[in-house]
Each structure stands twice: as structure tokens, then as C-alpha cells.
Chain A
Amino acid sequence: MEKSARFTGVTKPDEVTRPPRKFVRYLAAYLFSLPYLILMLAFGIGPAIYALIISFTSYKNGRPQYFGAGLSNYSKAVSDFRFGSAIGNIAQYLIISIPVGIFGVISIALLLHARQGRYTDFLRTLYFVPGAVAGPTAILLAIFMFDPRLSPFAPLLKAFGFQTITDVARIQNLPVMITLIGFFSGTGGWVAIFYGALQGVSRELLEAALIDGCSAFQLAIHIKLPMIYRYVVFMFILTFAGHIQLFAEPLILNDISAGNTIAGPTYSPNMLSYFLAFSEGNFGAAAVISLLMVLVGLLGAFIIIYGTKFYKTDATVAS
């Protein structure tokens, strides 16, 4: 418990520093923050505003005409013949990947936490290490793992009726394939966080419940789960905002089979945005889709900050 006490004891800034000259104090604060503020303007806020400007920009012979497009980029992006299928695909992927991810992380964390010891430590590390295999490596590894000729999971794949990689690599299987890739490299980190949170659950409470005759399962469902419930909400929002950005996986999985396109170049909204910009030269419509994705992220951010009480800083109550 000392931990949670530590983190909730918020310093009251005004007691710390009460110098006579306000100006000097502010100056120090601004000087300390200056490099960060510059970076934030340049790489956090700047590009978002640039995207906003581009979304109203038309292009003539490759030259931008700022604010020359009005709202036409918006209507173009939304009415694009690939927009619907990109949204459909991403919805399909989210519907599979988010429940699987959350349910998996909760199960693993609770299973591990049910009995702690050296085995648990070892397994937790084992689940954590695939996080090191990220990005292109994970996708490349997946190409091999989905190949019934190469994969250690071949018996399983064959049991599902897949004899060759081309049987596996079909557009209808993509949501599950990408979910598995994400689960492989993304789970361990969340398990570690959930596990850390579970360790904050009061030992006295758990022991009292055991004395009352609770089984390990009841303990997990009725006591531990409610304690980490808010982390689940947190994970839901972050994975939602993250997964909706799907880009690299379908792109690289396209290379599984020569001359055969599995996902196509416009499978997800981000891929469509990239394709509109880089293949069709329609930066305006691409920026609209980028902004749409940012908007989803912003929505998640606002829910987390103001709705879930997670980011409890005194900033959110300052005024």
C-alpha cells in the first residue's frame, strides 16, 4: 500500500517555492521547459495544424494552393470508393483484436497472479520478451509462422485445413492474422502493467476473502478484477486509438505471396490515406483521413483525461 500512498501524495507547488521575485521564478520554469515546448510545437502540434491546412488545400501541377479547396477534400475523402471498405476492414479488425487483446491480457495477468513464485516470474518474462520482436521483425516472423511448411504451429494450421501459406494468406483471414501478431508482441507489456496493478491490491483483503472460503477463481473475478477494472478501460481506449492506425501489418503481409495481393494497398484508413497521398497525389484527401484518425485519438485522450480520472494530475483540477 505504501506505493499508492506515494503516488497520491501530490506536492503542493506553492509551498515549495515562494521566492520574492515572481518574474525570475517564472523565467526559470520557462527556461527549463523551453526545449520541450519547442519540440512540442514542432512535432506535436505543428504537424496537426499543417494537416489541417493541407486538408483545405488544392494542388495544381504539384504546387499547393493553400485554402484553395474549400471543403472539397472532405467530400472527396468520404465519398472515395475505397473509403467504405477501409472503414469496414478496420471495424472488422477492431471487433476481433480489442476483445481478444483485453480478454487475453486480463486472463494472463489473473492466471499469473493467482499464485506467485519463480515459475510465475519466469512465465511473465517469457510473455514479456516478444515485445522486443516488434515492427517489421514481428511481421516477418509472422509470415514464417503462418506458413504451414515452416511453422512450429504447422499441425494446428493443418488442422484448420491450411496446407500452404497461400491458403492462410487470404483477405478474410487478415483480421485474425493481424490480431495474432499484435497479441504476440503487445501482450507482455500490458500483462506487466496489470500485474503491477494487481500487486497493489491489498493482501489483507485477499486473505480475508480466502478465509471466507473464496476460491481462486472467485477471488479473481469478484475482488481482483474490479480492482483493475479502470486499467481495462484505460487499455481499451489506448488500444482502440492505436489499433485504428493499422498500417504496417497489412502492407508487409501483402508481400507474403508473389504476384498475389492479400490486403491490397488501401486496406485500412491509414493505408488509404498514404495511398491517396503517395500514389494519387491527393494530399488534401489524405490529410482529411489523417485528421479523422487524429480525431479518434483526441476523443480517446479526452475520455481518458476527463472521464476516467486516470491521469490524475493537479493539472486537471488547476484553474
Chain B
Amino acid sequence: MKLLSVKPWRFHFLVLVSLCFGLVLAACGDNTPTAATGATTAAAGATTAAAGATTAAAGATTAAAGDPNATITVWVDDTRKPAITQFQQKFPDQASKIKIEVVGRGGFPGKVLLFNNTGKGWPDVVFAEPNLVAQVADTAHNYPLDLTPYVSADIKSKFAGLDDCIFDGKLFCLRNDLAQNVLWFNKKLMDQFGYTVPKTWEDYLALGLKVAQEHPGYVIGSVGDNQAAETFFGGSNCPLQRSLGNSQVLINTADPNCTRVAGMLDKLIAAKAVSKLGPFDPDFAKLGADNKILMLPAASWYGQYVFKATYYKANPTDGQLGVAEPPKWAADSKTYTAAHGGAAWTVFRNTKNPKLATDLILWLTTSNDYQATAPTYPAYIPAADAWHATIQNDKIYAFDPYPVLKTSASYLYPEWSPVRYDGLTSYAKIVNAGLKDGKTVASLMEPLQKDLVPLAQAQGYEVVTKSP
């Protein structure tokens, strides 16, 4: 059965090669009209955009443009789907014009690129975190509509955390909810141990070392996952991701604002007062169930969704959970806090029905109908006040947490800004993994810098290490 010889191989190879060339040429031939079509579409898009711009300029008062009868597609998650349904019930004449799609929003920027490529398919309204909005706001995605003409100055002024939605002076989203970090604590334990809630990070460190001495086994925080970047480094005005416009970012893990955090954490980790487990690790949850969590700097939604739903689920104790403003560094003139989570609504630049799209997101973010009973802390301050009523009587809290949450929201600062790359993943890859290997936070600051810089550069940022 020796059927194989060199000759046929050569023959086939040649046929194949020539075929490939033929096909490439054919494809190129085919390609020209495609490109032309693309260009036409692009031109059409540009026209629409121009029309949009004209209308926008025409007036914030009568923000009517495009086709008021056009259908819009809304991308939401499972949690926010009822919000859209509620809008449809409230405005039945608009109901049929809204198409809801529940999607995983992680793929949103990627899909936008593909839609740009094919010239169609964009969703009109999307629920997404500001860092995703940052990604779709670059020139390659070029997705969001500048909402400035549609949102009055008065309404804008009543939003907290709106800085994260402003890119190069353009308002690209409206905040749905805030996830400002606060200091959660176990009031009963604190009283029992005779401790006072720290007001500064220096006090926090001192108290942690004291707890390690006097009550070993109790923890005052967690550095086990990437939230630590936001709670500790974000709480110190450390320039991990300070966007300076669309094309420049300041990253400097050697900044004193960062190294002071690393020093503090290393001491607390060594004393075992801060846990190397992540807040969602089952072992950390067990600490919660065993009532070993004395304090935990974490996001505003931890009260309802982590303490109540996880840590205290097995042994619910009334009036135990207290909340304090995030600590401040003694040397700083003010308190800084970052957020873990907190999303926003963004609208497509070329939406056929900007009136409906913007009406919808204004209603979603500002109307008490939805926000007062929303699952997370509303970004729109009047709505947050209405939301207050839903949580103030929850028995889990030692006192009404709302005033503290509200003040803490005002400590969110624009220098901790959404960027187009995923810095949190870098933090997890370098710092969290390094801690597991027994390294110190301080020793990981330089590797983190080295990982973040090319990541930012790949997204077209110029990286600087000093404030201009």
C-alpha cells in the first residue's frame, strides 16, 4: 500500500497555493463594493449624527429629534429589567417602542466594535459601569451620546458621583447607583471591647494592632481580593488610575499616598488583624457568621447584601451593624473614598429615538417610582432621600445608616477615575496573588506599576508619573 510519493504532494501544494491566491484576489474584488457600502453607511451615520447635533444645539428645552416612533433596544441586567418594565407600565404609549434585552454587559465594548465594523446592531440604551462607558467613549468605539443638552443643570447638580460620567467635558452617562466605600463595624462588639470607631487611618492601624493583641482572631478588614485597591488605595487618593483627559493617565504606585497604604496594610496583615481572605471567600463569611468581623471598610451595598444576606444570615442579631464614614489620613485636608461597583445608563450617539432614550434614562435615574425601592444606593440625591425610607427601619442596623452613607457619597472624588483598561484585574493578578505567596504589599507596588503602565499604553494612554 505504498501509495504515497513526492510528486502528488507537490502537485497538490501548487494547486492549493494557486487556489488560495485566486480566492484572495476574488475576495479583494468582492471587497471593494463592501468597503464602499461601509463608507456609505458611515456617511449616513455621520448625517444622522449631524442631525442629532443640530437638534441638540437647537435646544435643551425641546429635546425632540430623530423619529419619536422609532423602537429602541435597551440592554440591562436581570436586576434592572423590572425597572424598564415599570417604565413601560407607567407610560403605556411608549411600552411597545422599547425592546429589552438582558445581556452580560462585560461584552458590551467588544460588541460595539463589531457593530461599528458591520455598521448596524447597536443597542440604544445600555446599563453599564462608568469604566465600561469609558471604554466605549474612545475613538475606536465612539459610542455614547453627549447627554449635556438633555439634562438640565438643575438635575445635573443633584447627582452625586456624576464626575465618573464626564469625559473631556462631555456627559456620557447618568449614574444609576453609588457604591461609595464606608466603614462598617460591629457596634455590639466595639462597645463590648470598649473601642471607639477610628476616624483616621492612623487610628484604624493602631486599633487593628490593639485588636490583634487583645482579641486575636477578630478582623478589621480584608485585602483578599481586588476591592482592596478601591477601599484602601482609593481611600488614600493614591494615583493608581488618575485619568488626565482621554489620552493621559497618571499612574504612580510609588507616590507617598500609595506607600502609606502599603505600609499600613503590611503591619495589619502581619498582625493578622486584616484578613488575607477575600470578603466573599467562604472562610471570611464564616468569620462573619462567627461574629469575628469587628470592622470592614467596604461599599455602601454591603449592609443589605453582604452583612444581611451572607455574614449575618446564619445568626441574625438585631441592632448589631453600625456604619461610619470612611477614615481619613491625618495629613490630608479631606476624606477620600472610592467605590466598588455602582453603574450608570448610557445612550447610543446615533439612536433613532433620542427623545425616548433620554426620557427613559432620566426617569430611571431620577424618578422615585423606581429609585425609592431600587436595590442599591441611588445616585440622584432626592431619590436617595426617598430610598432612605426603605432601609432606615431595617432591624439589622444599630442605627439609621443613611446619614453616614449620604455624607460618604460626597467624599467620592474625581481623581479616582474610570479608565479604559482593567486596573482591578492587574491588582488581583499582582497584589492579591503576591500576598498569597507571602510577599508584602510594599514589595508589590513596583510590579503593579510595571503591569499597569503597558496596559494603559495599549489603550492609547500616555502614562505619566507626576501630576502636571
Contact = CB atoms under 8 A, between A and B. Distances in A.
Q: Are A and B in contact, CB atoms below 8 Å, in the complex?
A: yes
Interface of A: 8, 45-46, 49-50, 52-53, 59, 61-64, 66, 80-81, 149, 164, 166, 170-171, 257-261, 264-265, 277-281, 283, 306, 309, 312, 314, 316-319
A166 B278 CA distance: 9
Nearest to B110: A278
Contact of A64 (B35, B139, B278, B282): B35
Contacts of A281: 109, 113, 138, 140-141
Given A259-B226, A278-B107, A264 B425 contact: yes
Nearest to B45: A63
Nearest to A254: B425
13 contacts: A50-B27, A53-B31, A64-B35, A258-B225, A258-B278, A259-B227, A261-B428, A278-B107, A279-B110, A280-B458, A306-B9, A309-B3, A312-B4
B278 A279 contact: no
Contacts of A8: 1
Contact of A319 (B11, B39, B279): B11
Interface in B14-42: 20, 23-24, 27-28, 31, 35, 38-39, 42
Contacts of A316: 3-4, 8-9, 12
A283 B117 contact: yes
B458 to A, nearest CB: 6
A54 to B, nearest CB: 9
B7 interface: yes
A149 B12 contact: no
Nearest to A281: B140
B3 A81 contact: no
Contacts of B140: 59, 61-62, 281
Interface residues of B, number: 56
Given A62-B142, A63-B42, A280 B425 contact: no
B101 interface: no
A53 B28 CA distance: 8
A258 B9 contact: no
A279 B135 contact: yes
Given A264-B429, A279-B422, 10 more contacts: A53-B31, A61-B139, A81-B454, A149-B282, A166-B436, A259-B226, A261-B428, A277-B113, A281-B138, A316-B8
Contacts, number: 126
Contact of A306 (B4, B38, B282, B459): B4
Contact of B116 (A63, A306, A319): A63
Nearest to A67: B28
A60 to B, nearest CB: 8
B283 interface: yes
Nearest to B31: A66
B432 interface: yes
B314 interface: no
Interface in B297-311: none
Contact of A258 (B7, B42, B109, B280): B280
Contacts of A283: 113, 117
Contacts of A264: 425, 429
Contacts of B139: 61-62
A49 B20 CA distance: 8
B116 A164 contact: no
A27 to B, nearest CB: 22
Contacts of B109: 278-279, 281
Interface in B305-331: none
B27 A62 contact: no
Contacts of B138: 281
Given A45-B23, A257-B278, A318-B8, A62 B116 contact: yes
Contact of A62 (B8, B23, B117): B117
Nearest to B15: A319
A63 B422 CA distance: 24
